[in-house]
Amino acid sequence: MSRAQRLLDLIQVLRRHRRAVAGAVLAEELGISLRTLYRDIETLKAQGAHIDGEAGIGYVLRPGFMLPPLMFSEEEIEALVLGSRWVSDRADGILGKAARNVLAKIGAVLPDDLKYGIDASGLLIGPGEPIAVGDHELAAIRQAIRTERKLRIDYADEHGNATQRTVWPVALAFFDRVRVIVAWCELRDGYRHFRCDRIAALETSSERYPRRRAVLLKEWRILRGIPEQ
C-alpha cells in the first residue's frame, strides 16, 4: 500500500469515529504499527488536518479538513465520474449542470495522470426515458427540503383522484422513470410518498415544519426498515 493511500485510509477511519479513538484501535484497523500511526497522524496535522488527542488518550478528527485531490484513488475518480454523469443525464437540468460543474472543478486541480481518468473513463450511462417533471418544480422541491419548509401541493393519485395536501418534504428519491417525494402528510397524519409527475401545482410555504428533517428522515427509515447510509 502506498503512503498516500495509507493516509487516505487513516482519514476515512477517523471520520467514521465521532469520539476519540485509541491509537491502538486505529493501528489495528489499518494493519500498521503504532509507530507508523503516530508518524502518519503528524503528517496529516502538517497538511492541515485538525486532529485532536495524543498517544495514550486517543484521537478525533475535527470537521472541515479537505483531502488534497492527489489522494483520490482511481476507483474514487471513477465513482465521481459515473455519479456525475448519471446526475447530468437523469436529474433535472439545474442539478445536471451543477454535476458537470463539479466534475470540471475537480478535473481542473487533479494531476495530469488522474485528470486523464476523468476524460477517458469507460463508465457510461445508458439512455433513459424523459421525466415529465419541470426543472423548476424539482428545484423548488429540493430547496424546500434543504430549508425544511412545508409544501402545498395539488396531487392526483393513480386513479386520478385529486386532493390538496400540505406536506413536510424530507427526501427526494430518483428512480429511472419517476421522482418521488418522501414527506409527512398533514392530511393523512403520517408519512406518504408522492410521485412528482402527479403534482399538478406546488407552492413553497414560508412556514418551517415543526421537527428537524434529520429526525423525520431517521424516523421514516426505521418505519420502512431501511438502514442508515
CATH number at residue 30: 1.10.10.10
Rounded to the nearest integer, the mean pLDDT of the chain is: 87
User: 152 and 211 share a domain?
Assistant: yes
User: 189 and 149 share a domain?
Assistant: yes
Q: How many CB atoms lie within 10 A of CB 63?
A: 6
Please tell me the predicted confidence (pLDDT) of residue 122: 85
Of residues 26, 12, 15, 10, the one with CA closest to residue 63 = 15
Q: What is the percent of the chain with per-residue pLDDT over 90, rounded to a whole number?
A: 45
Lowest mean pLDDT among 20-24, 69-73, 151-155, 157-161: 69-73
User: 141 and 215 share a domain?
Assistant: yes
Burial 122-133 (b: 16+ CB within 10 A, else e): eeeeeeeeebeb
Please tell me the predicted confidence (pLDDT) of residue 118: 80
Tell me how far apart the alpha carbons of residues 91 and 133 are, in angstroms, rounded to a whole number. 10
Q: Kindly state the helix (H) or strand (E) to which residue 113 belongs, with its residue range.
A: helix 112-119
In a domain, 157, yes or no: yes
- Number of structural domains (the chain) is 3
The pTM score is: 0.67
For 68-109, how does the pLDDT look when each residue is reduced to its tens digit (9 = 90+)?
555 677 788 889 899 999 998 888 888 889 998 888 877 776
Q: Kindly state the helix (H) or strand (E) to which residue 148 belongs, with its residue range.
A: none
Which of 4-13, 85-94, 113-122, 138-147 is modeled with the greatest confidence?
138-147
CA distances from 59 to 12, 21, 31, 46, 178 (A): 13, 5, 17, 15, 44
Query: Has residue 67 got a pLDDT over 70?
Result: no
Of the two residues 66 and 168, the one the predictor is more confident about is: 168
DSSP 21: B
Residue whose C-alpha cell is 489495528: 28
| End-to-end alpha carbon distance in the chain | 27
User: 183 and 109 share a domain?
Assistant: no
User: 77 and 148 share a domain?
Assistant: no
Query: Has residue 66 got a pLDDT over 80?
Result: no
In a domain, 109, yes or no: yes
Beta-strand runs (E) in the chain: 51-54, 58-61, 149-156, 162-174, 179-185, 190-195, 199-208
Of residues 200, 202, 203, the one with CA closest to residue 160 = 200
User: 48 and 79 share a domain?
Assistant: no
Of residues 225, 179, 219, the one with CA closest to residue 199 = 179
Work out the pLDDT band at 186, boundaries 50, 70, 90: very high
Q: For helices 74-90 and 112-119, give the axis angle rounded to 10 degrees.
A: 40
In a domain, 126, yes or no: no
Of residues 72, 77, 33, 87, the one with CA closest to residue 55 = 33
- Which residues have a Cβ under 8 Å from the Cβ of 121 and sit 6 or more positions away? 77, 78, 81, 82
For 124-135, how does the pLDDT look when each residue is reduced to its tens digit (9 = 90+)?
888 877 666 667
Last residue of a domain, one of 52, 67, 82: 67
- Domain carrying residue 78: 72-119
